[in-house]
Copies of this chain bind each other. A is one copy, B any other.
Amino acid sequence: MTVSPGPATLPPMFESAELGHKIDKERWSAEVPQLRADLLEAQYELVKKKGFSTVVVIGGIDGAGKSETINVLSEWMDTRHMQTTAFSPVDHEISGRPPMWRFWRSLPPQGKIAVFAGSWYTSPITLRAYGEIKSNQLDHALVEIRAFERMLTDEGVLLLKFWFHLSKDRQKKRLKELSHDDRNAWRIGENEWRHFELYDKFVETSVRAIRETSTGNAPWTIVEGSDHRYRCLTVGRTMLDAMQKRLAKPEAAKAPTGVRTPPITPSIDGKHLVTSLDLESKMDKDKYPKEVDEQQGKLNLLTRHPKFKKLSVVVVFEGSDAAGKGGAIRRVTQALDARQYNVISIAAPTDEEKARPYLWRFWRNLPEDGRIGIFDRSWYGRVLVERVEGFCSEADWMRAYGEINDFEEQLVKNDTVVVKLWLQISKEEQLRRFEERQATAHKQHKITDEDWRNREKWDAYTQAVSDMIDRTSTELAPWTLVPANDKYKARIQVLKTIHGAIRDFMS
């Protein structure tokens, strides 16, 4: 095969995508029926086994046949189990959630395939090509994307990324062709021609993005976009190979069980941040009513500040069993207008939630601008109960620290105040409260056998809490430890902490 070299500036990555790949009609007719049958078979095995979900990201240059290829895929496969989502540059339904929110909400459940036309790459690449973000901002976006994709694949998602490329000459030709075709002329507007003017810049930026994100777990496939049959066969075959391989080795859907991070060594002297808290100090009970009133008033005032409409607040309540989370939450909600907040109580996940990465059910409950989401337990369950009870593997909870930090970073950078409260009581105080609960009619529901069982694992939980705080108390979203043997003092501290965090964020 003779290779006609591209212009000197052509990045090596795209060289093979400017060779003029072409599939003739005969080969197409010979291969397509079997490919279709195989793709469908793989799809139905996926539907049946439900072991993982498949996300197909379609990116690339205008006019390179992205939507035509997606149409063919829809024809080849069963669209009852394959959903195509096209992401517009803006989405007004996002209402102040982080940019990743709309991709999260479109993640398919296990057993299904999602085709994304446009993706988390569209915005950083476009903004950079237009010079609206700096080089290091692009770098940072790519680092975030890598972490996000790592999380997806660790959670078992089969992630396939296709980049459709055209040489500059071919793109120009293609855009002209489309403009003169009645059916497609609408696709080519000012935007497309403006993009074309920036062709070199786009290619340069894409190459960088592709290089930085072509990871072992989610590599890019570059597709030359000039020949319809070639691009369809390439995408179809690549999908088929990847699905067949994964179906044959279902264990590959799991994150590597070999833990690569250093193990966590239990505190040698048994001392932990949480056990060093002064749990005994009390506040004057007589002063409490006035104080709680005052703090609630202050918090209330803050939430009616005009600036408050431009941010959102996420408050995480975690703590020992019987530490008084419920009571503390009520003292917070009493200060708020019921239209402003939601209490999200985390219980067992539903089947829609179980079929997706574990953070999905928190993403779907994020508050919009001007609102407060109060989480009664949270994503930290992954590194607390799931770790201690062995509901997930060590590898799973070990990677969760980083995933959670990434998640919270996205929140904070998107003007969400993240307040994380750990309510700690002593083992003795817990016993006292358990016994009191059993003795009081309207409190009996609060105490179950499970609580007693958890209590037996007090030390394991203490270790898990310490590790959690060490690894996730970041400068963007620090933990606040609340000594809670005295519930009055604890409630005041909770109110003050939330107030302080919002006030600091607004100023």
Contacts and interface: CB of A to CB of B under 8 A. Distances in A.
Contacts of A350: 350-352
Interface residues of A, number: 60
A196 to B, nearest CB: 19
Interface of A: 33-34, 36-37, 40-41, 44, 67, 70-71, 74-76, 78-81, 83-88, 92-93, 95, 117-118, 182-183, 186-187, 293, 296-297, 300-301, 304, 326, 329-330, 333-334, 337-340, 342-343, 345, 347, 350-352, 368, 376, 441-442, 444-445
A347 B78 CA distance: 13
Given A40-B442, A75-B330, A88-B339, 5 more contacts: A37-B441, A71-B334, A183-B296, A183-B297, A350-B351
Contacts of A304: 186
Nearest to A78: B445
B37 A300 contact: no
Contact of A343 (B79, B296, B297): B79
Contacts of A300: 183, 186
A337 B183 contact: no
Nearest to A80: B345
A310 to B, nearest CB: 14
Nearest to A85: B342
Nearest to A293: B183
B441 A338 contact: no
A442 B36 contact: yes
B86 A337 contact: yes
A19 B376 CA distance: 41
B79 A329 contact: yes
Given A183-B296, A345-B80, A368-B93, A67 B338 contact: yes
